[in-house]
Structure 1
Amino acid sequence: MPAAWILLAVATVVSLGLGSVHISPGEILTILSGAGEPGPSDTIVWDVRLPRVLLALLVGSAIAVSGVLLQTVMGNPLADPGLTGVTSGAAALVLVILLAAPTYHSMIPVAAFVGGVVAATIVYALAWRREGIKPLNIILAGVAVNALAGAFIAFLSLRYSERLPAAIQWMNGSLAAKSMSSVWMILPYIVIGLVVSMLCVRSANVMRLGDEVARNLGEGVNLTRILLSLVAVFLAAIAVSAVGIIGFVGLVVPHIARMIVGSNHAVLIPMSIAVGALLVLISDTVGRTAFSPTEIPAGIIMAAIGAPYFLYLMRRQGAR
């Protein structure tokens, strides 16, 4: 596991140095330590690149852990905040504020959480059967919720078309033009969510064994499912509130982390934090450098990576 964190640290330094103005890793370390004389590179690092790098790290870790918890709770390896409608539900209410009530900008994290909870509740209600939640029903319910939220987003886009340009980057999962204020807005929420997720390790490990075994071990299955789901929705919604929809992170990262450290949540969650942060950081860095001067939002890069992987997982699940 230390190797993952070392790789993340290296990727962070490299990302800070890449762009229209190249800055060497040594100079980056000097700037971050404050040891050198202030210059133009300091402004580029501190005011332009560092905020979006920190956002990538925070958002990636939050969505990844959200995916881990949702897959555990739903017993479905295909579950993630995007496919289950959580992110689209959160995005729909955030757009209400961005387009219809911009004066309430400070309420965006709360609106995102409420939208995510509503979407998750609908998915659970549609997927639940007397024998429990069926994995296929979750995907179908998620498709329905995504379609409903998408229709609402389309209505808002038409109704407030004059304000839409300001929200387009956000809708595509872009980290461009972000300042430290965006980082400070979500930092306490994500730290709280990640800490709570680590406190839920035992419950998550028990739920992984199935409802019947969990009950025999004295776990309150329904209450635990609700609590873990709320933590997952909270993390995904806060990430959406900051940068919009970045899909497939919550799907891909848990599988990668399990291949590295196994299914014990005591190590799976920290590994998912590192891998999720790394994946979103790489996506954002590629998006802003590979096609310069055009910048591709991280959400689009992740969709290009995650969609084929999702089809692979669907095929593998269907073959079983």
Structure 2
Amino acid sequence: MLNRSVRHASLIIIFTIAAVSACLISIATGAVMIPLRDIVTGILHHELPGMNRDIIWNIRLPRTLVAMLVGANLAVSGALLQGVMRNPLADPHIIGVSSGAGLFGIFLLVVVPQYDFLLTPAAFLGATLAAFIIYLLSWKDGVSPLRIVLSGVAVSAFLGSGISAMLTFYSDRVHGALIFMVGGLAAKSWPDLSTILPYSLIGLLLAMIFSKQMNIMMLGDANARNLGTRVELSRLLITAIATLLAASAVSIAGLLGFVGLIVPHIAKLLVGGDYRILIPSSALLGAAVLTFCDTLARMMFTPIELPVGIIMGALGAPFFLYLLRRRKA
């Protein structure tokens, strides 16, 4: 037991170092390379003179912090959905939750752009409705993992057609929604951080509070009921937490896929299935992975900047096929 605790603590420290390293690399890397000494001085002491200070504080630091929160939110959302739906292929993007958030987000961006300040609550509403519909369609004497994926794919396709229809009717406004559809972090600033921060803090805190409940539910519905758990109520509340995290990330970064699929599997492989450890591990790994991928997207074809959603799609699609083939085997 002691050895396991030491191992978990060591891994959490390693994940924290990975997240901090990804943050520093993101701030240091760009058209203007900034030495680590200047980054530390500029952040801790505000004494850095000249252009480097402006680059750090006005461009790279807020974008990096937003990337870390978006990555943490999506990773924890995926971990919760995979557990509560008992399906290792579940993540907000694949099962359609992100599409619900995206539909409402696109509606605000292209149909009523004057209300774009309501993007986050609208995305949460859309994600909640999508999750409810998927849950309803997949229910038949209980929740079937296969029905969840199939229902999610169907709902995602239906909502995607709605997004395409809006972009067709409002073709003159497509440019403003393009990055949102692909998923990107370009030009994210302090207001974006202020928007996502409270949702992240509330969602991640609630996820930790429900981590013990998640462990009980992983024993199966019958055993959870025998232990006094109200299974359907717990499943509904945990799904709502996952939806909140996913919707807040989508409202900031757009339809960014596969973070919630890849990261929880890597974390579970390293730390096991105890959600008290898995949730913080997923959050730290999600922050590190998305921040690193965003840096890669900025630098691959400089001065042209790729949306980070393209990088995540290139990594996530093969990983999804690998999981699918492994489950068939």
TM-score after normalising by structure 1: 0.97
Given residue 29 of structure 1, which amino acid in structure 2 is its aligned partner?
Answer: V
Q: Does 1:5 align with 2:40?
A: no
Cα deviation code 1:51-79 (max 9, x no counterpart): 11011100000000100110111000111
The 10-residue stretch of structure 1 (162-171 or 52-61) with the greater mean CA deviation from structure 2: 162-171
Given residue 27 of structure 1, which amino acid in structure 2 is its aligned partner?
Answer: D
- 2:190 maps to which residue? 180
CA distance in 1, matches of 2:144, 2:46: 57
Residue from 249, 253, 263 that aligns with 1:243? 253
CA distance in 2, matches of 1:298, 1:308: 17
Q: Does 1:261 align with 2:275?
A: no
Q: How does 1:4-153 map to 2 (within 5 A)?
A: 4-34=15-45, 36-130=47-141, 132-153=142-163
- 1:317 maps to which residue? 327
Alignment identity in percent? Answer: 46
Aligned pair count reads 318
Given residue 289 of structure 1, which amino acid in structure 2 is its aligned partner?
Answer: M
* Cα contact 1:13–1:29 (8 A) shared by 2: no
Q: How does 1:202-221 map to 2 (within 5 A)?
A: 202-221=212-231
- Give how far 1:133 is off: 1.2
- Give how far 1:282 is off: 1.0
* Cα contact 2:203–2:244 (8 A) shared by 1: yes
The 10-residue stretch of structure 1 (100-109 or 68-77) with the greater mean CA deviation from structure 2: 100-109
CA distance in 2, matches of 1:45, 1:164: 31
Q: Does 1:158 align with 2:168?
A: yes
- Give how far 1:138 is off: 1.1
CA distance in 1, matches of 2:156, 2:304: 29
**Closer/same/farther in 2, CA of residues 75 and 23 from structure 1, 3 Å limit:** same
Q: How does 1:220-235 map to 2 (within 5 A)?
A: 220-235=230-245
**Closer/same/farther in 2, CA of residues 317 and 47 from structure 1, 3 Å limit:** same
Cα deviation code 1:5-49 (max 9, x no counterpart): 012112211110101111111211111112534210111111111
* Cα contact 1:57–1:277 (8 A) shared by 2: yes
Which runs of 4 or more aligned residues in structure 1 lie more than 6 Å from their structure 2 counterparts after TM superposition?
none
CA distance in 2, matches of 1:102, 1:194: 30
Given residue 277 of structure 1, which amino acid in structure 2 is its aligned partner?
Answer: A
Given residue 147 of structure 1, which amino acid in structure 2 is its aligned partner?
Answer: A
Cα deviation code 1:171-210 (max 9, x no counterpart): 2111001111111011111111111111101111111111
Cα deviation code 1:108-139 (max 9, x no counterpart): 11110110011111111111111x21111111
Given residue 145 of structure 1, which amino acid in structure 2 is its aligned partner?
Answer: V
CA distance in 2, matches of 1:25, 1:142: 44
- Give how far 1:50 is off: 1.1
* Cα contact 2:76–2:204 (8 A) shared by 1: yes
- Give how far 1:167 is off: 1.8
CA distance in 1, matches of 2:167, 2:223: 47
- Structure 1 unaligned segments of length 5 or more: list them: none
Q: Does 1:196 align with 2:218?
A: no
Given residue 23 of structure 1, which amino acid in structure 2 is its aligned partner?
Answer: I
CA distance in 2, matches of 1:148, 1:120: 14
CA distance in 1, matches of 2:188, 2:259: 20
